[in-house]
Structure formats: structure tokens, C-alpha cells
Amino acid sequence: MIVGILEVTFHIPGSQSLKDKRQVVHSLKDRIRRRFNVSLAETDGQDSWQDCSLAVAMVATQRIAVERELNRIVDLIHSVPAVGLTDHWIEYF
């Protein structure tokens, strides 16, 4: 069994309030949940209007499957025009 953890940090330049940010983050989390079988949570930046961190966890029997899906999530985040990915890391257990 392999557990993969992805942490992404991103910037939302068009956000002018916590409400704007919440709308973008909620939409992104819903897209990720619909497309991938993962657990995720906002882990940092809750008080910031424009910065956010998400942690994503996935379990599978093969590392290659976890690696492929977590990288696809990073690609999905890159494709969202309202979000600028600033950093990410992946760890396996």
C-alpha cells in the first residue's frame, strides 16, 4: 500500500476579499473531488485574501498510480486561469 501526499500553494490575484477567495477555492476543490478519488483540505492561508494551501491524500496499491494521479491534479491546478501555482511537493509513504 502506498500513500501519497500532495501539498500545493497557490495565489489568487483576482481575489479582493475572503468571499472571492472562498469561491475560487471551493470550485477548485469540487473539480478535484469530482475527477479524482482523493481526500483534500485547505491547510494554510485561511485568513489571507489571495493565498491558499491545499493538501491532497491518495492511497493505492502501486506507487506509479498515486504518482500519476497526483501529477494530474497539479496539471489541473495549472490549467485554472484564476489560480497561480506558487509551490508544490509530493511525498510517498
Domains and CATH numbers, the chain: 2-92 (3.30.70.1120)
pLDDT digits (tens, 9 = 90+) for 43-92: 998 889 999 999 999 999 999 999 999 999 999 999 999 999 999 999 99
pLDDT digits (tens, 9 = 90+) for 6-37: 999 999 999 999 999 999 999 999 999 999 99
Can you name the residues that pair with 42 across neighbouring β-strands?
Answer: 54
* pTM exceeding the 0.85 threshold for the entire prediction: yes
